[in-house]
Amino acid sequence: MADQKKLTRAEQKALRPIQILDAAFEEFVRNGFTGARVDDIADRVGVTKGTVYVYFETKEKLFEAMISHFSVPFQELLAITASLSGSAADRLMSMLGLLYDQIAEDRTTRELTRLVISEGQRFPDLIDRHHDQFIAPVIAKIDNLILEGVESGEFREIPVEFSDIVVAPILTTTVLRLIFDDRRVPTPDREAFLRTYFDLLFNGLLVDRR
Amino acid sequence: MADQKKLTRAEQKALRPIQILDAAFEEFVRNGFTGARVDDIADRVGVTKGTVYVYFETKEKLFEAMISHFSVPFQELLAITASLSGSAADRLMSMLGLLYDQIAEDRTTRELTRLVISEGQRFPDLIDRHHDQFIAPVIAKIDNLILEGVESGEFREIPVEFSDIVVAPILTTTVLRLIFDDRRVPTPDREAFLRTYFDLLFNGLLVDRR
Amino acid sequence: MADQKKLTRAEQKALRPIQILDAAFEEFVRNGFTGARVDDIADRVGVTKGTVYVYFETKEKLFEAMISHFSVPFQELLAITASLSGSAADRLMSMLGLLYDQIAEDRTTRELTRLVISEGQRFPDLIDRHHDQFIAPVIAKIDNLILEGVESGEFREIPVEFSDIVVAPILTTTVLRLIFDDRRVPTPDREAFLRTYFDLLFNGLLVDRR
Amino acid sequence: MADQKKLTRAEQKALRPIQILDAAFEEFVRNGFTGARVDDIADRVGVTKGTVYVYFETKEKLFEAMISHFSVPFQELLAITASLSGSAADRLMSMLGLLYDQIAEDRTTRELTRLVISEGQRFPDLIDRHHDQFIAPVIAKIDNLILEGVESGEFREIPVEFSDIVVAPILTTTVLRLIFDDRRVPTPDREAFLRTYFDLLFNGLLVDRR
DNA sequence: TATGAATGAGGGTTCATTCAT
DNA sequence: TATGAATGAACCCTCATTCAT
């Protein structure tokens, strides 16, 4: 705030909407759509309420713009996984590791998930976009990786609806962190978590199988 | 409403708070804490706003009472699992099946989960109670079952923080149903889901495990 | 305000909407629809803004209700004129005298006319209702009276669109009083005005006709 | 807007205030003083809000300037009537015909009348100026014409407050057009209207007088 | 002269809460 | 116990006005 004094008018202006979106993110996350106050969002930026309305017509539009702003589709993630090599298991692990980082460990995505859960009913479009841009591509990718593993003889054949199960530990970690946020349930150690996750995923719980 | 005519006045009175809690559940679920209106809750019961305040001091207290009312601890579930017999795997499957029914398939618990995620920050006590009454006992039970399996030589030994991973498909299904509610992601068939879930949990994804 | 203390709750309640409508009339007349403040209307009644909204959903609805409340159709006036006897001229004079009293001399109708002129564009229904309930019946009545006079040989035959001209002095007086309200143009003496009005209406300005 | 391209910069500048006054007229007419938005006025001209404030200190000053700009006193009208010849009746008819054209048929004057009626209370000076520049001179002129007619033996002698009555059909037509604007009451045909108006004015309604 | 970002004082509306009945 | 009129504190949004550029 102090060093923004040096910015020119034009720079300020280009910055404003982003500052507001950032502030909106924090307030909407903390209080939900209805609970958040435009006044508080403005305060966070250091401007007055009116200024928010210079850039966003309504609180609702601001909310939607904020969601769009922070919802950077998993383009890169999918791109990376496309270039993976190695066994199907290796590629699946790489993908799940990336997903873990992007969903469970990244605060932004995590809190976006909270908003999707809590405000989804009020903003159905939000859900649709979230599904199309996040869920569907990821699920499709996982399906593919598993199918390839099946075809190469690495993986056992498994009904098609199972992808949720494969990624479940990631979403579950995300949700538990949203709920407990280090209060009761400690944030798991990334490496240890993934090790156990993958071990169970690939080998299962039973000692002696067949 | 029609068959309540048969109730005596005393019964009516005893019913009021519960009717209000039921109505509160629906409104809070639909609109969140801030978004829900006491007026709408009263309307649902067929009384006026003032009546709600006869039974509950504030909207906040009503919310908390509602959560308590619907949060029936998994006493019976834990009791049932205590009396299970058979192999560790059998007992674990029984427990997970029960959990699935109670969390993923039961609308009340599911929506309670939504409220825990969306309103938890505003009601920290809610989180604590939820943890103590739901999460902790369940996790402990799972831990136990697995430990027993390890001791009996059925299960491989696995780090202690893994229980989340074991139940993850259940919470994930719950959350996905909260988000999409049959709009994009179809509700999975219970039997097929559990079959795959357990198959993966016990045997893992790999074809050839020595 | 002081003596309302004696009223029972029920009496108060029955009175409230009317008190509000009265207050609304004054504020809307003084400041127009946009300029009037709900707060000031409430103040006038001695209640708070919220109370106004107990009775009227929006400022717009309040405005419309106020107009309806004060727009008592000229039922009685028309009824009276229906029972008139005497020559056509006598009956026409009686009618015009009544009209003068109801439109030009009655503050309520006069100010209602101001609102019709100033807010009509924003409230087209207002205009339609005003036309159907006030203008049209009066015009029709005048037309009839003149037609009867023509048929009985009292009046000269005159094109049908002239009724406006016959009542023009009344509307003109109304509008001038609205504009000047005794500031520049003194309010005319009723008797003198009507005498001249009728003299001109019946006999015209020319000394020697034919 | 297209042909303004040809104007020099200096011409443009000289035009600005007038463009703004024109735009202000339309917006104030449509929405009243309080309802009109400076932003919309600026939009109409194709400039921004700030520009309006370059030329006019406040919205109120702009309103007053606009009224002054469009209130071109009836100088020419009075000048023309000064040069009239013929009988008193002829001269009166000429004058009333001109008045009809300037008041009832000219949209600008008509809408100015609306503003005088609706905003007069908020701008008392407006009323005074309107009276001094419009009403008083016209009334005086009419008075004169009639007096001359009386002196020449053409007109009957009539109390001095009657001038309103003589011009009433003009103001009435104006007001009715303001209210109904061709929606319910059709705009009268000029010639037919004036013919009836003058016929009634001079000859009265009665068949047999004296 | 013109811009337009920013302000800030409201204004309409909502709604949890109170309390006399 | 139940009502519902009334309150008043917010909250969203608007808009006349300012001012640095």
Looking at residue B87, its pLDDT comes to 92
Considering only alpha carbons, which residue of chain C is nearest residue D209? C203
Rg (CA), chain A: 21
| Domain edge (last residue) among C52, C69, C86 | C69
Q: Please, which pLDDT band fits residue A79 given cuts at 50, 70 and 90? A: confident
Q: Within chain D, which residues score under 50 in pLDDT?
A: 1-5, 209-210
User: Which chains are within 8 Å of B by 3+ CB pairs?
Assistant: A
The answer to whether residue D46 is domain-embedded is: yes
Contact B166 A192 (CB under 8 A): no
Residue B173 within a domain: yes
C205/D2 Cα distance (integer angstroms): 54
Mean pLDDT, residues A179-207 taken together: 87
Distance set, CA C167 to CA A10, B24, B203, C100, C139 (Å) = 64, 63, 99, 9, 9
Helix (H, G, I), strand (E, B) or coil at B206: strand
Provide the token pair at C86: 């005497």
Confidence of residue A182 (pLDDT cuts 50, 70, 90): low
Task: Examine the domain organization and report whether B13 and B64 are in the same domain.
Answer: yes
The residue-averaged pLDDT of A15-37 equals 96
pLDDT at C134 over 60: yes
B31 with B107, same domain: the answer is no
- Residue closest to D180 by CA, chosen among C96, C29, C144, C135: C135
Highest mean pLDDT among C103-117, C151-165, D65-79, D148-162: C103-117
What pLDDT score was predicted for residue D159?
A: 87
Spatial separation of the C-alpha atoms in residues C169 and A9, rounded to whole Å: 62
User: Cβ of A60 under 8 Å from any chain B Cβ?
Assistant: no
pLDDT of residue A123: 94
Element (H, E) at A91: helix A88-99
C140 touches chain D (CB under 8 A): no
Chain C residues with CB inside 8 Å of D185's CB?
131, 135
Residue D61 in tokens: 């000053």
What's the CATH code of the domain at A169?
1.10.357.10
Residue D208 lies in a domain: no
Residues of chain B with pLDDT under 70: 1-12, 182, 184, 208-210
Position B78 scores a pLDDT of: 84
CA distance B27 to B115: 11
With a pLDDT cut of 90, the percent of chain A lying above it is 67
- Say how many domains are in chain C: 2
Residue C108, in any domain of the structure: yes
Q: Is the distance from CB of C166 to CB of C142 less than 8 angstroms?
A: yes
- Within residues 48-67 of protein chain B, the ones with CB less than 7 A from nucleic strand E are 49-50, 53, 57-60
A171–B168: do the CB atoms touch at under 8 Å? yes
What are B82-90's contacts with CB under 8 Å, separation 24+? B87/B149, B87/B152, B87/B154, B88/B145, B88/B146, B88/B148, B88/B149, B88/B152, B88/B154, B88/B155, B89/A205, B89/A206, B89/B149, B89/B154, B89/B155, B89/B202
* D79 in contact with chain C, both atoms CB, cutoff 8 A: no
Q: Please, which pLDDT band fits residue A209 given cuts at 50, 70 and 90?
A: very low
Domain that holds residue D137: 72-203
Whether chain A has a CB inside 8 Å of the CB on B46: the answer is: no
- State the pLDDT at residue B4: 47
Query: Is the residue at D210 inside a domain?
Result: no
Average pLDDT along chain B: 89
Q: Give residue D132's pLDDT.
A: 87
> How big, in percent rounded to 5, are the helix, strand and coil portions of chain A?
75, 0, 25
Q: Give chain C positions within 8 Å (CB) of D201.
A: 200, 204-205
Q: Indicate yes or no: strand E within 7 A of the C-beta of C23.
A: no
Are the C-beta atoms of residues A17 and A55 closer than 8 Å to each other? Answer: yes
Whether residues D192 and D95 share a domain: the answer is yes
Domain end marker among B51, B69, B87: B69
Contact of chains B and A by CB distance (3 or more pairs under 8 angstroms) = yes
Are C79 and C140 in a shared domain? yes
* Predicted pLDDT at B1: 43
CA dist list (Å): D46 to C101, C134, D38, D40:
49, 43, 12, 10
Mutate to test the interface with A, among B154, B205, B210 (most CBs of A within 10 A): B205
pLDDT of the residue at C173: 95
Are residues B80 and B53 part of one domain?
no
pLDDT recorded at residue A181: 82
> Which positions in chain B touch A180 (Cβ < 8 Å)?
127, 131
Average pLDDT, chain A: 89
Neighbours of chain A (3+ CB pairs under 8 A): B
Lowest average pLDDT, out of A96-105, C87-96, C175-184, goes to C175-184
Nearest to residue C121, comparing CAs of D27, D127, D60? D27
Question: CATH no. for residue A35?
Answer: 1.10.10.60
Q: Is position C183 within any domain? A: yes
From C20, C44, C69, give the residue that closes a domain: C69
pLDDT at D10: 65
Q: Is residue A77 part of a domain?
A: yes
Same domain, A108 and A9: no
Other CB atoms within 10 Å distance of the CB of residue C156: 16
**Same-domain check for residues B23 and B104:** no
Using alpha carbons only, what angle is made at residue D90 by residues D85 and D95, rounded to the nearest 5 degrees? Answer: 85
Residue spans of alpha helices (H) in B46-123: 49-55, 59-70, 75-82, 88-99, 107-119
- Asked if residue C210 is part of any domain, the answer here is no
The whole-number pLDDT of residue C5 equals 43
Specify whether A107 is located in the same domain as A11: no
For residue C139, pLDDT over 50 is answered with yes
Asked whether residue D116 falls in the same domain as residue D65, the answer is no
Q: What is the pLDDT of residue A3?
A: 41
| Range C94-111 average pLDDT | 94
Reported confidence tier of residue C186, pLDDT bands at 50, 70, 90 = confident
Cα distance between residue A65 and residue A71, in whole Å: 10
**Same domain membership, residue D50 and residue D143:** no
Do C63 and C90 reside in the same domain of the chain? no
Does C136 lie in the same domain as C55? no
